[in-house]
Chain A
């Protein structure tokens, strides 16, 4: 089992460009999350999906959109990238509703916006 996978691992964008970060899990988990991590800080929640077909804003959603494509895949889109979005992006998953609350993380995507 691959667990949680993210693509790409690294990306450099110019201001104003768009891109989609992909996340896939083979753990049969219901809930999926997107976080960003900035230097010297903890992780901050951007968006989450409690289950297939639902998405909700987290702490820092501005400038991002998400799509829960199916149970396995949860993508994060930057429509018009800004230097403030330079960060490391992590996808995470959690198991069944009401139980198995441990979160499992992907390897991250390091994004630089010039």
Chain B
């Protein structure tokens, strides 16, 4: 099956700092999503981005499908950005099954 590796595994930032999270995957995919799991456990979909670049406020993501990686950028981080960020990939199609990475745990401090 597809392997998904995320780096770094842990990250501590001071409020206001910027960061880049990386997701590498082992095979061609046509479905890639980024999720944020907040400290209460809720999973929120951030981006559906099988290729190209998208931006949503302070967050943006870029996927280079031909080189099998995706990047999630967080600018001007806030304490509410804390939590775990997951990358998940799949082959799309009717069932849209996803394989998840093990996540990057982000802590933003004052």
A binding-site residues for B, Cβ under 8 Å: 31, 33, 35, 40-45, 48, 50-51, 56, 58-59, 88, 90, 92, 94, 97-98, 101-105, 107-108
Contact = CB atoms under 8 A, between A and B. Distances in A.
B42 interface: yes
A108 B41 contact: yes
A42 B103 contact: yes
Contacts of A50: 94-95
Interface string B9-27: 0000000000000000000
Given A103-B45, A104-B45, A105-B42, A97 B98 contact: no
A107 B42 contact: yes
A93 B101 CA distance: 19
Nearest to B45: A102
Contact of B43 (A44, A59, A90, A94): A90
B33 A59 contact: no
Contacts of B48: 101-102
A41 B41 contact: no
A87 B27 CA distance: 29
Given A43-B86, A59-B99, A90-B43, 17 more contacts: A31-B94, A35-B100, A40-B102, A42-B4, A42-B88, A42-B102, A42-B103, A43-B88, A45-B97, A51-B94, A59-B1, A88-B41, A92-B43, A101-B33, A103-B96, A105-B45, A108-B43
